[in-house]
Amino acid sequence: MSPRGGQSYGFPIYCAAWLPLAHILKPDPPATDADADASTPSPPRPPMAALGGGGGEGRSGVPNKLVVASLDPTVPAGEEAALCPETVIQVKTKEEVPYRMAVHPCGEGVLCAFPNGCRLYRWESQEEDEVHKLALEPDQEALAELKGVGLQLAVSFSGEGSILATGGEDGHLRVFKWPAMGSILTEADTKTSIKDLCFSSDEKFLAVNRSSGPCKVWDLKSSEVVANLTREAGEIFGFCRFSNNTDSSNILFITAMQGDYGKIISWNTTSWTRVGSKKITREAISAFTVSPDGALLAIGTIEGSVIVLGSKNMRALLTVKKAHLGIVTTLAFSDDSRTLLSTSFDSTARVTSVGCPKSKSTSIWPVLLVIILAILVYYCMQHKEELLAMLPR
């Protein structure tokens, strides 16, 4: 049974990402005068997402696969968007489960992390770049440096797609130039595993969270650590994401569990000092992301809830209790920051509309309060003598 608003795909979903269709599909050729008179323009292609997961090794009967699904164009305007139940692409991965995923931002393929290493799937078009003719084919020659390295718990391309970073369950950090795969930096720490990593938008910094110790921030030009962001008493760091401010500066957000609370901490990326911290939920945080425009944060929990917050004050703008029946595994905002994709072990992918960030974060109550106060002041001035006469003598 799928929760309301979720689409079930028949396998536990571990990883997901929106696809950069503008880089994958060629635009339609310009119509001739005859075509313009004879037909109407083709509708825009709906956004699509890649989903990965499965039942694991053995004979569970649940397949391991990588699929692509599009937004359902038949959903009436004004209703909650949803992914189509039918997939555009299905790639069976045999006995291997795709646990993590990184989609190249310029359309060079989908990188999947399997239990024994990573594999790159490239886009193939069989006929005129039509959506239903797209295919994903494994590139057997790519990523030789990431074969047989074990499970990578974090994989990410930089914003421009020129750098690839992976973090292993064995504690090994690897950062490469893309696509040449020349090494930028490596760090091995067998006493910890890497939980998450992220690039700053200018590709200058890489933040890395491990299972213990501080969050390390690397300068990618010098390949040296520029900051060790320490934990306060009782904090257990989880996810990390850089976000842009309106003045084009960066801020780093880190999720943490502290006692019974899940919290979000913000860090200045010049002084590397804490600038904010707020307890958000009593449920353990299992997924985290930041919108492309930097206005929104989103967390998913082990109880299946999804919470969207404003990045400036970390105030909850939208809460969907039991958005999924299982642990939320992945969150991803669309390019326009108005749609949030969430996935779960319960085999569902859900699309939640978050509207326009500006309208979500703007409240009418302060304006109404000022108007009411102005009316009260005006009334008091006009009826000053009557009000004074009512006072006890």
Residue 363: its pLDDT value, please? 42
pLDDT tens figures, 141-169: 999 999 999 999 999 999 999 999 999 99
If pLDDT is split at 50, 70 and 90, which confidence band does 380 have?
low
Gyration radius from the chain CA atoms:
24
Length of the chain: 393
Q: Please, what is the average pLDDT of the chain?
A: 88
Residue ranges per domain, the chain? 6-362
In this structure, CATH architecture of domain 6-362: 7 Propeller (2.130)
Neighbours of 17 (CB within 10 A): 17
Rounded CA separation 41/27 (Å): 12
Residue 248: its pLDDT value, please? 62
What does the block give as tokens for 96? 């291997």
Give me the phi and psi of 187, to 5 degrees please: -150, 125
pLDDT tens figures, 109-124: 999 999 999 999 999 8
SS3 content of the chain, % helix, strand, coil (to 5): 10, 45, 45
Q: Which residue in the block uniquely carries the two structure tokens 């139940």?
A: 85
**370 or 314, greater pLDDT:** 314
Rounded CA separation 165/208 (Å): 10
Rounded CA separation 66/50 (Å): 7
Q: Residue 106 is inside which H or E element, if any?
A: none
Q: Any alpha helices (H) in 157-304, and if so which ranges?
A: none
Rounded CA separation 163/171 (Å): 19
Per the confidence metrics, is the pTM higher than 0.75?
Answer: yes
Beta strands 194-199; 13-18: pairing state: unpaired
